[in-house]
Chain A
Amino acid sequence: KNEVEQSPQNLTAQEGEFITINCSYSVGISALHWLQQHPGGGIVSLFMLSSGKKKHGRLIATINIQEKHSSLHITASHPRDSAVYICAVQGTSYGKLTFGQGTILTVHP
């Protein structure tokens, strides 16, 4: 069993739909990251959180430390949101990240 599990692996939506991507982890962490990878491969950090909830524009990330679970929500999805979304957990040693397999999101107009 992987230390970080994401679901779903693939997600297709119509423009305007509300989207949720889930991440579960099995190890102790100091923080959880949500990353976005575009088709060219470049990675952008969306959120880093250790408790509660963060919001940036149409993106919302939540984490429940007790349940070892995090969700990334996208409201009013748009085709430009199409990308791979990656959950990564950060341990307590030197900031090392362990990654989930990623969720491939495709938003159709």
Chain B
Amino acid sequence: SQTIHQWPATLVQPVGSPLSLECTVEGTSNPNLYWYRQAAGRGLQLLFYSVGIGQISSEVPQNLSASRPQDRQFILSSKKLLLSDSGFYLCAWSTTSGGASYNEQFFGPGTRLTVL
């Protein structure tokens, strides 16, 4: 069966510090991968998605970047965190069916990031 892992579960970081959040998927190959953020009091927003190794698309301009060094590994990074980067970060995966994915998405447990 497929599982998705995220770590760390919670993180408190000072403004200006770097960030690295990791997401890994098991039990599937060549998944589409997604990073979402839920800022306090706001809805979920897609940040990045990836359809393959090294292929990253950004949805919104921001202080963050993403990388996919392996098929089932998705990393969210920042060189210098801002207060506005605080939020709940969710990784998700779905199976692929060409460019038009019509598939259920499976969410990781999330990372709660507080930037002070």
Q: Which residues of A contact B (CB under 8 A)?
A: 30-31, 33, 35, 41-45, 48, 50, 86, 88, 90, 92-102
In the complex the two chains form, is A97's CB within 8 Å of B102's CB?
no
- Chain B facing A: main interface SS: strand
Find residues 60-116 in chain B having any chain A CB closer than 8 Å to their own CB: 88, 90, 94, 99-107, 109-110, 112
Chain B hits for A33, CB < 8 A: 104-105
In the complex the two chains form, is B32's CB within 8 Å of A94's CB?
yes
Selected contact of B43 from candidates A48, A93, A94, A100, CB within 8 Å? A100
In the complex the two chains form, is A95's CB within 8 Å of B101's CB?
yes
In the complex the two chains form, is A41's CB within 8 Å of B102's CB?
no
In the complex the two chains form, is A45's CB within 8 Å of B110's CB?
no
Chain B hits for A50, CB < 8 A: 102
Contacts A43-B90, A95-B101 given; does A101 touch B43 at CB 8 Å:
yes
B23 at the interface (CB under 8 A from A): no
In the complex the two chains form, is A93's CB within 8 Å of B100's CB?
yes
Chain A hits for B105, CB < 8 A: 33, 45, 95, 97
CB-nearest residue of chain B to A101: B43
Give Cα A45 to B103, complex, Å.
Answer: 11
Give Cα A93 to B59, complex, Å.
Answer: 12
Chain A hits for B102, CB < 8 A: 30-31, 50, 90, 95
